[in-house]
């Protein structure tokens, strides 16, 4: 197995010392360097510690000999598309920064600005942070394993009010949701 610690670390703009300091408990840059280069075996314990420090899932740190990971080969700038100096692995959405876990919502019927076939990635947020989600699209758990989705238009104590996408929809009031998941990324087929 080939490890991808260096690729992910560089893509996130971190130094060896940054990753070492983010490990719990902290370690040295030299140790991270040895794990990156394979001079030291990458155990499951180290894999979990480094993945947490990088903010990615542990399985992203290793790959087989055959590259099956999608490659980022170009970037779009003001003057148009240009090649990257070297192709690099495209990091999956689970590597996005944030405190809570990611969840996904599949759009099967068009509603408002969302089209059938879209996939929406959302980040779970705890009740103490609900205030910052005002005017954002959120997914909220409801009783009986149901969910509500829409723009959060009001919050009063432990009660949130959502306006579902699409014209003529009625607002949904949810009391004491254990969490909300805020829309972070839309994946749409072309």
pTM of the model: 0.57
pLDDT at 91: 64
* 151 within 8 A of 135, measured Cβ to Cβ: yes
pLDDT at 30: 95
Beta bridge partners of 173: 161
pLDDT at 149: 93
Give the residues of the chain that fall short of pLDDT 50: 95
pLDDT at 111: 87
Taken in order of first residue, the domains within the chain and their CATH numbers are 2-65 (1.10.260.40), 102-187 (2.10.109.10)
Q: Kindly report the number of other CB atoms within 10 A of residue 46's CB atom.
A: 20
pLDDT at 145: 82
pLDDT at 75: 76
Residue 27, C-beta contacts closer than 8 angstroms, at least 6 positions apart: 20, 49
């Amino acid at each position: 197995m080939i490890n991808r610690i260096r690729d992910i670390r560089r893509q996130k703009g971190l130094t060896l010392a940054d990753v070492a300091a983010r490990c719990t408990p902290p370690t040295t840059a030299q140790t991270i360097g040895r794990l990156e280069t394979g001079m030291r075996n990458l155990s499951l314990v180290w894999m979990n510690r480094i993945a947490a420090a990088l903010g990615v899932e542990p399985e992203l740190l290793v790959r087989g000999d055959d590259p099956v990971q999608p490659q980022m080969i170009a970037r779009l700038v003001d003057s148009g598309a240009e090649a990257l100096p070297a192709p690099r692995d495209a990091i999956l959405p689970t590597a996005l920064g944030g405190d809570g876990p990611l969840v996904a919502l599949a759009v099967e019927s068009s509603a408002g600005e969302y089209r059938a076939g879209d996939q929406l990635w959302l980040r779970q947020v705890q009740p103490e942070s609900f205030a910052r989600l005002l005017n954002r699209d959120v997914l909220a758990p409801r009783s009986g394993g149901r969910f509500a989705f829409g723009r959060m238009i009001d919050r009063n104590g432990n009660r949130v009010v959502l306006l579902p996408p699409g014209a003529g929809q009625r607002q949904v009031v949810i009391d004491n949701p254990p969490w909300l998941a805020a829309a972070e990324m839309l994946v749409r087929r072309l």
